[in-house]
Amino acid sequence: MLPEYDLRGKKGVRGKYYRAYRQGHTVRICQDDGSVSVQHFTLEEGAVMLEPDVREYFPTSESVNQALRSLIVLIPKTRRRR
């Protein structure tokens, strides 16, 4: 990070926009010709957002899937189908 981006001493709030981001977010793209396109993004079907404390232990999709697969075998077969 460049020295001019030194954020020490700033009173930022971690996760300030977290809940709003989960609801979706809008991006405005300004083109060179002056036109503006607007796109709205939400989590894709099947996507899961991890809380920061969980992400610390499971930083990749592979690590999350591996942990969940090890738990699946503990669930009784009668509960697996819904």
pLDDT of residue 26: 86
Cα atoms found within 13 Å of the Cα of residue 8, Cβ hemisphere only: 5
pLDDT of residue 5: 80
- Among candidate residues 23, 62, 58, the one with its CA nearest the CA of residue 40: 23
pTM of the model as a whole: 0.45
Structure letter (DSSP) for residue 37: E
- Both tokens of 23, joined, read 């609801």
Q: Which domain holds residue 32?
A: 15-80
pLDDT of residue 80: 59
What domain count does the chain have? 1
**Cα R_g (the chain), whole angstroms:** 20
Structural domain contains residue 24: yes
Structural domain contains residue 49: yes
Q: Which run of H or of E encompasses 70?
A: helix 61-72
Per-residue pLDDT of the chain (82 residues; tens, 9 = 90+): 788 887 787 777 878 887 777 788 888 999 999 999 998 888 777 778 888 899 999 999 899 999 999 999 998 887 655 5
Structural domain contains residue 35: yes
